[in-house]
Amino acid sequence: MTWYIVRRFLQMIPVFLGATLLVYFLVFSLPGDATAAICGDRGCTPAVVAGLREQYNLDEPFFVQYLLYLKGVLTFDLGTNFSGRPIATIIAEVFPTTAKLALMALVLEAVFGIVFGLVAGLRKGKLFDSSVLVLSLVVIAVPIFVLGFLMQFLIGVKLQWTNPTVSGDATFTELLLPAVVLGLVSFAYVLRLTRTSIIENVNADYVRTATAKGLSRKRVVVVHVLRNSLIPVVTFLGADLGALMGGAIVTEGIFNVNGVGNTLYRAVLNGDGPMVVSIVTFLILIFVLANLLVDLLYAWLDPRIRYA
Amino acid sequence: MSHSIGMDDVRGSTPRPGADDAVPLLELRDLAITFATSNGDVEAVRNAHLTVMPGETVAIVGESGSGKSTTALAAIGLLPGNGRVSNGSIIFDGEDITRASRKRIVELRGSSIGMVPQDPMSNLNPVWKIGFQVRETLRANGLPSGPQDVAKVLEEAGLPDAESRANQYPHEFSGGMRQRALIAIGLSCRPRLLIADEPTSALDVTVQRQILDHLDTMTEQLGTAVLLITHDLGLAAERAHKVIVMYRGQVVEAGPALELLTNPRHPYTQKLVASAPSIASRRIASAKKAHVVTGDDLAPAVPVDAAKDSVIEVSDLTKVFKLRGSWGRSTDFTAVDDVSFSVQRGTTTAVVGESGSGKSTVAKMVLGLEDATSGSIRFDGVDITTLGRKDLFDFRRRVQPIFQDPYGSLDPMYNIYRTIEEPLRVHGIGDSKSREKKVRELLDQVALPSSMMQRFPNELSGGQRQRVAIARALALDPEVVICDEAVSALDVLVQAQILNLLADLQSELGLSYLFITHDLAVVRQIADHVAVMEKGRLVEQGTTDEVFDNPQTAYTQALLAAIPGAGLELPPEAA
């Protein structure tokens, strides 16, 4: 097991190198001069431009630039963005908000998705099942920004149950609505996945045997059906955690959340290369860690899986 | 015969424990079970009658789809969601439980009616420890459920070292151990009736025998009545006081076991008696004693001098697998250890052994699907372990396989024509016209109508699929056909048909068979030579008669003793 975890961490090295190289290359090959983005419409004096080119190693060949960047990362120096703020500070500032939002969304989608999926799976073909299926299909089919703006308008503006946008403090109540919107699509997937998994397991031989042993229906469902059905669901949730951490660009935009997604979005618009590369790399690492977590959880849920 | 025979029609009655108190423990009267399907209601069981007296063992025999499991499961309300009892009644110990509340049924399950299910691989929950699964049974039925109680229950079922075994997961158990755990669970609450649904059909014969013996002893000691469901008439006759034969949802015959076997009245029962390999093998043995030739012996008598010409000669064959251990270390596992045997042209050689004996690995190496670690396999004098890619391709024309699972070995996306034609196309034989003619001939040889060419595997029954697999194997006019458990997934009647077909094809085409199987009853019927494997080694070989009449090793003796029905005394002409 220890060996397995060590190996998984070692595997992160090529993933990290490959991903940064790719992202660095993409940013590098963006058309236009990077300094133009910093200077804006007014333009800078040639001396300032030369200084900037010096500071960000823009005159070096691609690989030298990349290696210099790598050196910075390995010495825990992510450098500064185009406005001169240390990138590490910015990430440290916005990440907690995004993490909070992602975790809230994850809990919401997991709890509601599993409960609804369980009930729907046990009552396959009944009214509850059919209506929940249709509803989940609607949620999956309608783009997230439509749902986001709709819910912001109805709940935030019309009913005024909560603030339509999130302040700098990003309190729990403020984040609730964005978290619901963020988790909505995944909720629909979790629901469908749980439902399918339950339907499959309800007819499993060991469930019939458990029933024949004289166990109550409740115990059969909770102890024998649910745990086995959660194995694929947990895999999905784990992968989704990684996605939620970085994929909240639209939701953060709608509700004006000062999180990673919004920051990344602004950096891309500004052509802020160092910022984009650093944030994306950070997100990749989180994604890889989330996957490792899933695999370990998986082994815990299913004793047949043993890593060596 | 459209009406069923109730237990009133039972001919004679054998004395049995508890026969004098006239209240039956379980009685099914006129039972009908209906399944709701998308094509409307389907009646799976009609007019089923059966009675189980306290302490008595009753067997229900029938092929898959005969409704035997459905009937038994209905007794403890375990029908699948779309099934229901549409007529008749179920009476347990004088109480009508046909429409009992769910609460009452839950009360009865476990404590009054226990169950031992069919497949030990899928009937234990893989994510809970064995001990947990026993403990919850005890607890749900209000019995003490401490660690020592759990260990005691497992020990009774013959599980060695029960206390530490209880802390293991099902996947750490062998099939036989799992079945013992399931028997432990089924009997843990001392039920008065045990429903045993094909309790051993997924196990090796020797394990099967041990488990059934143990089950017999336990139920006898506890005075438990058993409703045994099986497809093997020989096994039913050996284990049960009374046998009930079901066919297409109806009870067609019922009576004391031996009487039913020696004097079957219903045509279906007659067919079953005629084709059950365990019984046929028994008859051959009796016939040999009486020096009579029966139709059961499918292997042609081979003149001794004709048997000089070996088509396959395996010598010193060894296969070592590397198993990955922790920290990147690997250990060696010798699956096949220094095995030598030969297959004479035009005859059948059977390689027999239990799972894990290495017999399938031998088959794979002979087919050239797995590389040998050392040793040689000579086909017509040429060592195939040294063949290059092209020669191997040519070699494959001459040796063809038929595999166990006719559901898994046919591509579901290929129609029957394409399935059989593919080897011809791959080897570039003939044009499309001559290939079509060949496919027609092949279908004719395996007794399938040529109208079947456009059908897909999912539209065919198991027996039909296996015929298609045979046709595909014969497409290239091979000299040797390797049958890896080719009939073990089939019902007895179908099994008999396929064995007959293989025997006919052999005499017609002069084929040589290498028959890999765990089923000695089948071997007795079809093989000329037998090689017995145990844990990778070849422990005994000889002609079928030598091995069966005079087994040399204790292992072979145990295998032979384990054929169901071995204890039955049958006259050779019984059929």
Q: What is the pLDDT of residue B252?
A: 92
Q: What is the pLDDT of residue A118?
A: 94
For the segment B12-30, the average pLDDT, to the nearest whole number, is 66
More confident position, B127 or B15: B127
Rounded Cα–Cα distance for residues A278 and A73 (Å): 9
Write out the CATH class of domain B1-106+227-276.
Answer: alpha beta
Closest listed residue to residue B344, CA positions, set B135, B170, B510: B510
pLDDT at B178 over 60: yes
For the segment A202-214, the average pLDDT, to the nearest whole number, is 92
Q: Which two tokens stand for residue B496?
A: 């008999």
Lowest mean pLDDT across B194-208, B271-285, B443-457: B271-285
* Chain B residue numbers touching A299 (CB-CB < 8 A): none
- Which residues have CB under 8 Å from B403's CB, separation 6+? B409, B469, B484, B485, B486
For the segment B286-295, the average pLDDT, to the nearest whole number, is 62
Lowest mean pLDDT across B33-37, B220-224, B225-229, B305-309: B305-309
Helix (H, G, I), strand (E, B) or coil at B510: coil
Asked if residues B423 and B475 have their Cβ atoms less than 8 Å apart, the reply is yes
Backbone region of residue B109 per phi and psi (left: phi > 0; alpha: psi in -120 to 50; beta: other values): beta
Q: What is the pLDDT of residue B516?
A: 92
> Kindly report the CA angle at A87 between A84 and A89, in degrees rounded to 5?
105
Q: What is the pLDDT of residue B124?
A: 93
* Chain B residue numbers touching A211 (CB-CB < 8 A): 78, 109
Helix axes B205-222, B554-561, angle to 10 degrees: 60
Average pLDDT, chain B: 84
pLDDT at A116 over 90: yes
- Residue of chain B minimizing CA distance to A1: B326
pLDDT tens, residue by residue, A159-188: 878 777 777 777 788 888 889 988 998 999
Question: Which runs of consecutive H residues, i.e. helices, occur in chain A?
Answer: 2-28, 34-39, 46-55, 62-74, 87-122, 127-141, 144-151, 172-202, 205-212, 217-219, 227-246, 249-254, 260-270, 273-301
Closest listed residue to residue B228, CA positions, set B217, B244, B250, B252: B244
Q: What is the pTM of this model?
A: 0.77
Rounded Cα–Cα distance for residues B570 and B420 (Å): 42
As a whole number of angstroms, the longest Cα–Cα distance in chain A is 85
Instruction: Classify domain B345-358+391-565 at the CATH topology level.
Output: Rossmann fold (3.40.50)
Task: Confirm or reject contact between A203 and chain B (CB < 8 A).
Answer: yes
Asked if residues B374 and B318 have their Cβ atoms less than 8 Å apart, the reply is yes
Interface test with B, best of A5, A201, A203, A213 (most B CBs within 10 A): A213
Q: Which residues pair with B26 in a beta bridge?
A: B52, B92
pLDDT at B159 over 70: yes
Closest listed residue to residue B491, CA positions, set B254, B243, B275, B180: B275
pLDDT at A40 over 90: no
pLDDT at B572 over 80: no
pLDDT at A281 over 70: yes
What 8-state DSSP symbol labels residue B569? -
pLDDT at A42 over 70: no
Rounded Cα–Cα distance for residues B314 and B150 (Å): 49
For the segment B85-101, the average pLDDT, to the nearest whole number, is 90
Lowest mean pLDDT across A28-42, B178-192, B547-561: A28-42
Closest listed residue to residue A84, CA positions, set A51, A120, A61, A109: A51
pLDDT at A150 over 50: yes
pLDDT at A39 over 90: no
- Which residues have CB under 8 Å from B38's CB, separation 6+? none
Residue with tokens 């019922």: B254
A72 — pLDDT class (breaks 50, 70, 90): confident
Contact B76 A212 (CB under 8 A): yes
For the segment B128-144, the average pLDDT, to the nearest whole number, is 93
B12 — pLDDT class (breaks 50, 70, 90): very low
> Kindly report the CA angle at B563 between B558 and B565, in degrees rounded to 5?
130
More confident position, B210 or A79: B210
Rounded Cα–Cα distance for residues A186 and A244 (Å): 10
pLDDT at A36 over 80: no
Task: Confirm or reject contact between A301 and chain B (CB < 8 A).
Answer: yes
Rounded Cα–Cα distance for residues B144 and B360 (Å): 46
Helix (H, G, I), strand (E, B) or coil at B283: helix
Domains of chain B, residue spans: 1-106+227-276, 345-358+391-565
More confident position, A276 or A84: A276
Q: What is the pLDDT of residue A259?
A: 87
Closest listed residue to residue A181, CA positions, set A216, A206, A156: A156
B18 — pLDDT class (breaks 50, 70, 90): very low
For the segment B323-337, the average pLDDT, to the nearest whole number, is 74
Q: Show which residues on chain B lie within 8 Å of chain A, measured between beta carbons.
A: 76, 78, 80-81, 102, 106-111, 114-115, 117-119, 122-128, 133, 136-137, 140-141, 169, 171, 182, 185-186, 189, 324-328
For the segment B259-283, the average pLDDT, to the nearest whole number, is 80
pLDDT at A212 over 90: yes
Residues of chain B with pLDDT > 90, as a percent, come to: 33
Q: Which residues pair with B59 in a beta bridge?
A: B228, B243
Contact B109 A304 (CB under 8 A): no
* Chain B residue numbers touching A308 (CB-CB < 8 A): 324-327
Query: How far is Cα of residue B388 from the mean position of the Cα atoms in its chain?
Result: 38
Rounded Cα–Cα distance for residues B137 and B127 (Å): 16
Q: What is the pLDDT of residue A210?
A: 94
| CATH topology identical between B1-106+227-276 and B345-358+391-565 | yes
- Residue of chain A minimizing CA distance to B132: A223
> Using CA of residue B489, residue B492, residue B497, residue B503, what is the dihedral sign?
positive
Rounded Cα–Cα distance for residues A95 and A203 (Å): 44
pLDDT at B570 over 70: no
The half-sphere exposure of B17 on its side-chain side, counting CA atoms within 13 A, is 15
Helix (H, G, I), strand (E, B) or coil at B373: coil
Of A211, A217, A224, the CB nearest to B78: A211
Task: Confirm or reject contact between A304 and chain B (CB < 8 A).
Answer: yes
Q: Which two tokens stand for residue A145?
A: 């920004």
Task: Confirm or reject contact between A206 and chain B (CB < 8 A).
Answer: yes
Rounded Cα–Cα distance for residues B389 and B396 (Å): 11
pLDDT at A284 over 50: yes
- Which residues have CB under 8 Å from A284's CB, separation 6+? A15, A16, A19, A20
Count Cβ–Cβ pairs < 8 Å, chain A vs chain B.
Answer: 90
pLDDT at A30 over 80: no
Q: Which residues pair with B246 in a beta bridge?
A: B251
Strand-pair category, B480-484 with B512-517: parallel
Q: What is the pLDDT of residue B4?
A: 42
Q: What is the pLDDT of residue A113?
A: 95
pLDDT at B556 over 80: yes
Task: Confirm or reject contact between A44 and chain B (CB < 8 A).
Answer: no
Residues of chain A with pLDDT > 70, as a percent, come to: 93
Q: What is the pLDDT of residue B41?
A: 87
Question: Which runs of consecutive H residues, i.e. helices, occur in B44-174?
Answer: 68-74, 102-108, 130-140, 147-156, 162-165
B2 — pLDDT class (breaks 50, 70, 90): very low
* Chain B residue numbers touching A216 (CB-CB < 8 A): 106, 140
pLDDT at B202 over 90: no
DSSP letters, B389-431, are HHHHHHHHHHEEEE-S-TTTSS-TTS-HHHHHHHHHHHTT-S-
Contact A304 B171 (CB under 8 A): yes
pLDDT at B150 over 90: yes
**Cα distance from N-terminal residue to C-terminal residue, chain A:** 6
pLDDT at B513 over 90: yes
B490 — pLDDT class (breaks 50, 70, 90): confident
Residues of chain A with pLDDT > 90, as a percent, come to: 23
pLDDT at A29 over 80: no
For the segment B229-235, the average pLDDT, to the nearest whole number, is 85
* Chain A residue numbers touching B327 (CB-CB < 8 A): 3, 308
Q: What is the pLDDT of residue A308?
A: 58
Q: What is the pLDDT of residue B82?
A: 83
Lowest mean pLDDT across A98-102, A151-155, B129-133, B194-198: A151-155
B524 — pLDDT class (breaks 50, 70, 90): confident
Of A3, A212, A301, the CB nearest to B115: A212
Of A205, A210, A228, the CB nearest to B127: A228
Of A206, A216, A301, the CB nearest to B123: A206
Asked if residues A198 and A190 have their Cβ atoms less than 8 Å apart, the reply is no
- Which residues have CB under 8 Å from B552's CB, separation 6+? B540
Length of chain B: 575
H or E, element range at B227: strand B225-230
* Chain B residue numbers touching A214 (CB-CB < 8 A): 106-111, 137, 140-141, 189
Torsion of CA B325, B327, B328, B331, to 10 degrees: -30
Report CA-CA distances (Å) from B173 to A22, A201, B150: 48, 22, 17
Backbone angles phi, psi at B304, to 5 degrees: -60, -40
Average pLDDT, chain A: 84
* Chain B residue numbers touching A301 (CB-CB < 8 A): 127
Q: What is the pLDDT of residue B567?
A: 64
pLDDT tens, residue by residue, B237-248: 888 999 999 998
For the segment A269-273, the average pLDDT, to the nearest whole number, is 78
Chain B: give the shortest CA distance to residue A7, in Å: 10
For the segment A36-54, the average pLDDT, to the nearest whole number, is 70
Closest listed residue to residue B515, CA positions, set B380, B316, B366: B366
A117 — pLDDT class (breaks 50, 70, 90): very high
Closest listed residue to residue B46, CA positions, set B24, B31, B67: B31
